[in-house]
Amino acid sequence: MIVRVRAFARFRELLGSDMEIEIPAGATVSDVLRKACSWSEEACEAVFDSTGEVRSHVILMRNGTRMDRKEAGSTSAADGDEIVVFPPVSGG
């Protein structure tokens, strides 16, 4: 299946702004992110902590809705999903 991954700000510079990730059926949101980060150790370290969990400051959206980053490892991704990853905001 194919999942779209978009990233903003610092994560855009590390991962790329917009990519399509091919993953096997049953893969989780964490699996998608791990594959998106796979070409860059720096990207991987920015998104995941040493235990493999998505870092606490990482904000995730799935199909337009924010999701709890703690659930990334247990939430299955579906074909056509859009996962968005970004850091804490700083507008204004």
Partner 1 sequence: MKRLAGGDPEILITEGDFDLGRVVCKLTTPEMGGVVCFLGTVRDDGIVKMELEVFLEVAQAELAAICREAMENFRLISISVVHRYGILKPGDNIVGICVGAGHRGEAFRGCEYIIDQLKQRVPIWKKEIRGDGSFWVEGEKRIEK
- 82 is a contact residue toward partner 1 (CB under 8 A): no
Window of 6-14, 23-31, 33-41, 68-76 that interacts with partner 1 by CB under 8 A: 6-14
Separation between Cα atoms, residue 4 and residue 1, nearest integer Å: 10
The footprint of partner 1 on this chain (CB under 8 A) covers a number of residues equal to 16
What the block records as the tokens of 72 is 């990334």
Each residue 23-62 as x (binds partner 1 by CB under 8 A) or -, in order, gives ----------------------------------x---x-
Contact yes or no for 15/58 (Cβ under 8 A): no
What the block records as the tokens of 80 is 């056509």
Task: For residue 30, give the H/E element and its range.
Answer: helix 29-36
Window of 7-15, 33-41, 48-56, 68-76 that interacts with partner 1 by CB under 8 A: 7-15
